[in-house]
Structure 1
Amino acid sequence: MTSGRFWRIAAAAGMTATAVAAGCGDNGAPCTTCAPMEGRYPLEFEAGTLPADCTSLGVGLPQGPLDIQRSGSGLAATMDGVPMEGTLFQGNDFNLLGAQSGLDGGSTQFSLSGRYTPGPLDGGTGSISGSFTGTYARGSAQGTRRCSIFRGYTATQQGQP
């Protein structure tokens, strides 16, 4: 039987790996003068077929908007009820990672990395683009079944959540 401890450990390891990967290069330090990326983003995912194992589990791409709050370089976000945390880096790269456990013993983990592009100084809106990973685990009579979905995304900032 898989316990919830494994998923919390996996989520922490994944967040560390994402933070380290995003921390590479010239833009790796958390921002000090941070762009105003907080807001609501209805994500548009690249076209593609869902993996068969995800379809059989009844999971798919998130449907709700990504709502981001920012405090300095720290980010807090939610999407489809999954809380996430992350960092906004110099150069406007960012990462978000979060997990939620289900009552059935399953779990949902979301990971987003990308770049925020500020809007024009004359009042235009900003946008984000990058990559999304959704990792799902669901209990069944045959044991825990898992699948992952990987997709690129884009979204335009739509004010405060």
Structure 2
Amino acid sequence: MVTLAQARAVVSAVPDPELPVLTLGDLGIVREVRQGADGGFEVVVTPTYSGCPAMDAIREDIGRALPGAVVTTVLSPAWSTDWITDEGREKLREHGISPPGHLRDRGPVALELSARCPRCGSPETRLVSRYGSTACKALYTCRVCLEPFDHFKEI
């Protein structure tokens, strides 16, 4: 029989379908894993944004990882990039995606004039497109090393 801790670990280790370098745990979208009296599990998730097209794939992947689990989607409170773990931020950086800053550290006005290049670390970057390879990322180019890169948007 699978324990609650094991179920949470299994679900948290499921790769994100759009960014497979990250797990659902890294993204912080797994809100809760509950075990019912019958031994079955309910997994509560919050998508990175309400129209996330990957939610069907995420539900299916959780179901494969934890057979019989019921996946419940909760939209409030809305997911925030602050929920990405430090390990997840490092994985993004290692794979050429500029991780978002922490909104909680910015005070009342969240304003970012540039995204730091994940390759060379320079803040001298230019927004090329507000949408990158997925809707939750923007496309930038570094003015120093000239590399293009995705930046995970702060939400």
Q: TM bucket by the smaller chain? A: under 0.3
More helix by share: 2
The alignment's TM-score, normalised by the length of structure 2, stands at 0.27
Q: Does 1 or 2 have the higher relative contact order (CA < 8 Å, sep 6+)?
A: 1
The alignment's TM-score, normalised by the length of structure 1, stands at 0.26
Larger Rg: 2
More strand by share: 1
